[in-house]
Amino acid sequence: MKGSETIPAPSRSASAGEKQPVSPCFTRDEVERFHRDGYIIVRGLADDRMLARMLAVTRDGMAREIEPIEYEADLKYPGAPESKAAAGGRTIRRLKQAHARDYVFTEWMIDPPLLGRLRQIVSPSLVVPLAHHNCIMTKSPQFSSDTGWHQDIRYWSFPRPDLVSVWLALGSEREQNGCLWLIPGSHRMTFDRSRFDSELFFRADHPDNQTLIATKVKAELDPGDVLFFHCRTLHAASRNFTNEPKLSVVLTVRSADNPPRPDSRSAASPEIILPPGEVPDASNS
């Protein structure tokens, strides 16, 4: 996927290898940028202990194929093995139900610098719907696939399309290993149904879409970096062309007053209610 621009690091000023203290919340400017662009990156938000624990749980889950798992062959996106019986057929795309795998994923969601930021951009009262994301993405060498342009809300069912996903890099994420690409501001746009295909992917062969796709930016991440993105922000990713898996933890939050529509898939799983609290004062940061 050829790129136009890399999302600049908003808050890291340390020289290589030097860890800077993480501020407790977004600045006012960062909050505005999130609402304008539909995404924002915070560098080094997760601490090393949590990262190490998540990596250990991920490696164990992959090595022992601990269910629930989504295999590349289940989705058959471009590049994926034809079937589970084909070469590479047991390549894992996602370890599902991250929260049920280890307490560290709950610890992560209630980590004050993360929780404070989510209160600023979503709501002071937050809920994690376990039906969506709540997984560890495991983009493996050789048999991973391309994910076309899409908005995550396409199969979700909530009265307000205002959920936010938290994408935490457990390792390096670059174009070569299939980092995410996003289209700035697309969460505020409305699109005719004809611009999407039957599976609600944003059609790359549509001339108007091509103009918009040309504005894409890539989200290059290092371990501990976090991409926050709105559920209407168009995003895509290529397969992994390196020899190492790319591992990322992805969780989604909603405002407590935006519950899933009854009888929908979004309502079919339990949810985690996060501790309510004050919205941090961005002017102090």
Residues that bind ligand AKG (CB under 6 A): 137, 139, 147, 152, 178, 235, 237
CA atoms within 13 A on the CB side of 70: 19
What is the C-alpha separation between 231 and 150, in angstroms, rounded? 10
CA distances from 226 to 35, 42, 59, 96, 209 (A): 16, 5, 20, 19, 27
Q: Which is nearer to ligand AKG, 1 or 256 (CB)?
A: 1
**Would you say 270 and 164 are in contact if contact means Cβ atoms under 8 Å apart?**
no
Least distance (Å) between residue 236 CB and ligand AKG: 7
Least distance (Å) between residue 194 CB and ligand AKG: 22
Q: Which is nearer to ligand AKG, 22 or 62 (CB)?
A: 62
Q: Which is nearer to ligand AKG, 14 or 189 (CB)?
A: 189
Q: Cβ-count burial of 274 within 10 angstroms (0-12 exposed, 13-18 middle, 19+ buried)?
A: buried
Least distance (Å) between residue 105 CB and ligand AKG: 16
User: Bridge partners of 196?
Assistant: 202
User: 180-182 and 235-237 as β-strands: parallel, antiparallel, unpaired?
Assistant: antiparallel
- Listing DSSP states for 210-236 in one string gives HHHHTT-EEE-B-TT-EEEEETTS-EE
Least distance (Å) between residue 242 CB and ligand AKG: 14
Q: Which is nearer to ligand AKG, 96 or 119 (CB)?
A: 96
Least distance (Å) between residue 145 CB and ligand AKG: 7
What is the C-alpha separation between 187 and 51, in angstroms, rounded? 30
Q: Which is nearer to ligand AKG, 69 or 137 (CB)?
A: 137
Least distance (Å) between residue 4 CB and ligand AKG: 19
CA distances from 33 to 27, 185, 250 (A): 10, 10, 21
Least distance (Å) between residue 147 CB and ligand AKG: 3
Tally Cβ neighbours within 10 Å of residue 267: 15
Q: Which is nearer to ligand AKG, 147 or 186 (CB)?
A: 147
Q: Which is nearer to ligand AKG, 28 or 203 (CB)?
A: 203
Tally Cβ neighbours within 10 Å of residue 25: 23
